[in-house]
Chain A
Amino acid sequence: MLTKLAGGRLFDPANGRYGEAADLWLHDDRIAADPGPGATPDAVHDVTGKVVMAGAIDIHSHIAGGKVNLARLLMGEEHERHRFAGHACGNDRVGSDRIGGGSGIATPSTHSTGARYIEMGFTAAFEPAMLGSNARHAHLEMSDIPYIDTGGYLVLGNDDFLLDLIASNAGQAAVNDYVAWMLTATQSLAVKVVNPGGINAFKFNARSLDLDEAGPYYGVTPRTVLTVLARAVYELGLPHPLHVHGCNLGVPGNVATTLDTIQAASGLPMHMTHIQFHSYDTAGDRKFSSGAAALAEAVNRTPTLSVDIGQVMFGQTVTASADTMAQRHTAPLAHPRKWLAMDIECDAGCGVVPFRYRDNSYVNALQWAIGLELFLLLDDPWRVFLTTDHPNGAPFTFYPELIRLLMDRDYRLAKLAEIHPDAPAHTTLGSIAREYTLAEIAIMTRAAPARILGLTDRGHLAPGASADVTVYSDLADRRAMFERPDLVFKSGRLVVRDGTLVATAQGCTHVVRPGFDELIERRIARHFDERIGLPIKHFRIQDAEIRHGAGPQLHPCQRREVP
C-alpha cells in the first residue's frame, strides 16, 4: 500500500523541518522516500496548507495495571455518566472488530483509552509505573489498548531485594545485574523510582522520609537509592535515564528537596517526572507558593536533566500512584470521600485518591499556575515534556486545552484572571510573554519523547520511520486544532478521519533487554523461593505473552562507564 500526503507543511524537528511544504509518502507501515515520477499511489490525500507531524508520544500516562484498574472501580460514578458504545470498524483480529467502547474519562477503559488517544493524533503512550509483581497484569491490559504503542517503566527502589543489595554492600555491579534481570523478566522499557525508599519505609510505619534520612530496617537513604539506580541505568546504557518521582510529593516547601535531588544526581542523566508536584515553596500567609522559577533555573543549567510537568487542570480526576506514603497524606482531601491503599509484594504499593481540582481553591489554582510557569520558563523544548501525569493532574484528554494555554498568551491571561484572586500574586505566570510555536510543540510531543526513550523509528518523518502520522488544520484556536486532527495514520493505515475512527489498528510494546551476569539469578531465585513464595520461572514474562504472541519490539542498550 502506497499513500501520498500531498502538499502539507511538515513539522519534523528531528530532521530539521519546521513547516516547509513537502509531500510525504507512506509505504505499508513505514515512511518512504519520494518514489519519483511514475509512482502510482494507492491513495492520495491533498493536505495542502495543513500541518503534518509524526504521531504524538505521551511519555508518562497511567493507562494500565493494577492501580489504574482499581481506580476505575473506585470511580464508578464517573463511569456510569460516561459510557461509550463501540464502533464497528474493520475486523483485524477476531473479537476486536468493535473498537472504542467502554466508559470513563479520568480512568478510561482500555478500548476508550486507545480511541481517545488516537482521536487526538497520539500514537504512543507509556505506562510509567509498572510494578514487577504486577507487570504481567499491566502487559495484559496494555495489549488490550488498541491503536497506540505502549511500554512500561519498571518501578524499583522500594523493593526489599534492592534495598537489601544496597544495605549489604553487594556492589554496583550486582545492582546493575539485578536491574537488568528485572527489566528482562518484566519486559520493561525503562526504570522508574518512586519516592526512593519511602514506600518501603511506610511499610515499617514511617510516615515521611527525607532525601538524606536513613530509612527504617535497611538504614539506606533515598539519596543512596537514587544515585545507585541512576548509575545502574547509566551503566547498563538504557536509552531512557532514570525516571524519578522524587521525595515529598505535594508537600509545601518540597522545591528544596527537588533542588537537592538534582544535586544528588551529580551529573548522571536523570528524568524528573511531574515536577509541578515537586515545585512548591512556602512564601506568603498560606505558606504555599511557587518555587517554579528556582527549579526552572536549575533545570535550564543542567543539560543532563529532562523533565515532564504533570500539569493540573481544573475538574474531577483521580490520583493513582505507587507512592503510598504521599497518598496517605492526600487521602483526607479525597473527593468523593473514598480512597484505597495497598502494600504490594515486598515490591512497592499503590494509593488511589479521587480528587477535584477547583479554580477557586488557592492551592489548586496555584498548582495550575506553577505547571504553566514551568512550561514557559524552561528554555529547551527537547528536555521538557507535555504531561498531566494522567490522570493525577488531569485526564490526558486535556492536552489540547493545555497546548492552547501554552501557545496563546491572551487566552492564558484570561484564564489566569478567573482563578482564585490570591493565587496570581504568588507566581510569575502573569508576567511571562512566551508563546510556544508549532515547532516547539512538535519537539515536545514527538521528536523529544522518541529521543529520550530511544525509539529511533518513532517521533519523526524520515524514510524508514514508522508511518505514524497526524495531519491537522492550522486553526487559530489551537485547542480545536489539536482536539480533532483531519487525518491520523497508525503504521501506515488511515485510522481517524475528521476526528472519527474509521479503521482498527494495533500498536506494539517497546522493551529494552540489557544483558546481565547470570550469577545474579541464583540470588534472585533464592529471594523468590524464600520470600515471594513463587518459583522464579513463574515470574518471568516470556515474549510469547506479549500482545497475543506478537512479542515486544526491542531497543538496544549501549553499556558505558561513569566518567
Chain B
Amino acid sequence: MSFSEREILETVRMVELETLDIRTTTLGINLLDCADPDLESACEKVYAKILHHAKDLVRVADSIGGDYGVPIVNKRIAVTPIAWVGAASGAEDLTPLARALDAAADAVGVDFIGGFSAYVDKGFTRADEALFASIPRALAETEHVCASISLASTRSGINMDAVGRFVDVVLDAAEQTADRGGLACAKLVCFCNAVPDNPFVAGAHIAASEPETVLNVGVSGPGVVRSALERLGPDADLLACAETIKRTAFKVARMGELVGRETARRLGTGFGIVDLSLAPTPAIGDSVGDVLEAIGVDRAGGWGSTAALALLTDAVKKGGAMASSSVGGLSGAFIPVSEDQGMIDAVRAGALSLAKLEAMTSVCSVGLDMVAVPGDTPRHVIFGIIADEMAIGMMNHKTTAVRILPVPGKSVGETVEWGGLLGTAIIQDPGAFGCLTLHGRGGRIPAPMQGYRN
C-alpha cells in the first residue's frame, strides 16, 4: 500500500508543526484487592500493586513514541476510587493511602496518578466521609495525586449536601496551598455523570465496571484542527467546516487507536478506550479557543461561541467514532481556561466571562475547568457555581465537571502562575450574587425524568 505525497506531508506536518501528539497513555489498575483492615497494610499493597503493574509503563510508552515517531507526552495511572479501597480499614484519615499513591507514581515515573476519589451522588459512606476529610491535606502534601468526586448523575440527581461539603474541601485545599496559588485545587475536580474510564487528570479513575488493568489513551489535536480550518479559509460554509473537523478528528483518533493498541499489546494488558477530546495545552497554537476563532467567532467567549463549540464537539465525535470502535472517556472538546492560551487571551481581553463559559459547558465535553476566582469568594457563590454546572450535566445526560481555584489573597484581574501544563490564570469575576438560602437548605435535587429511561 503506498501513499500519495500529499498524505505523507500532511501527517508529517501534523506532528512537526501542528503539535499533534498523544496526550496521555493512562494505565488503569483495579485496587479493590488491596483493601485491608489494617491501613498500613493496605498502603503497602497499593504501593506494591501499582509498582508491579506499571513499572514498564514509561519505558513501553517511550519506546512506542520512538518506534512510530509520534510523541507520547504523558504517562499516567488511574486507580479504583480510594474511598472503596480504604473502607475496610475503618480509618478516619486516608492521607496515608494518598502518600502510597504518590510514592508509587514517583517510583514508576508518571506525572499524575488519579483516583483519590469517591462517589457520593446519593449519599456518604463512612469511608467517603473520611476521604472528604483527607483530601485537602492529601493534595497539599503530595505531588502527583489527583482527587475526583462524583456529586451528581442523571440517574441519582444532585446531592446538594455533598456539593456543600465539596466546597468546604475546595476552600480548605486552597488555604493549605496558599503559598502556591491554591495549587491543590488544580488536582481536585467534581463531576456529574462521572465516566469510569477517563484517562485525563484530574478526573482519571477506574470505576467498578472496569477490568483488572486497562490501557486508555487520550489524544490531542487542537492545533491540527485549527490549521485545517485555516487552510479551508473564511469563505467555506459550516457544513464544510464540520466535514473538515470530522476528517481531521478521524486521523487524530486513528493515531490514538494505534498507540493504544500497541501499548496495551506490549504491556500485555487489555486495551480500553480512546478519549477523543481535543485537549489543549498552554503552548502557542495548541488551543481550543483558537479553533473557535478559526470557525468564526471574534474572540473565544464572544457571541456565537456556544454554537461554534457545539459544531466542533459534535464533529470531533463523529470523526472519532468512525476511526475507533473503542471511543470512551469524555470525548469532545476541553475548555480549561488556564491551560489554553487562546482562552487566557480571551479572558484578558474581556471576551470570556464565567457566565459565558458556563453556557459553553452545556455543549463541550467537560465543564468549568481550571477557573480561578478570588480567594475570598463567598462559600455560597462557589456552591452555586458548582450546583449550576451539575444541573447542566444532570438534565442533559452529559458529563460536566468543575475544577475551580479560589486563589487566596488574589482579587479579580490579577494573574496567578502555576507553570507547566497547568498554565496561567487570570482571576475571574464570579459576581456578587450567590444563593445563601439554597446553600442552607441542604438535601438532594431529585433525579430528573430523563433519568427514568427504563
A joins B in a complex: no
A residues in contact (CB < 8 Å) with B: none
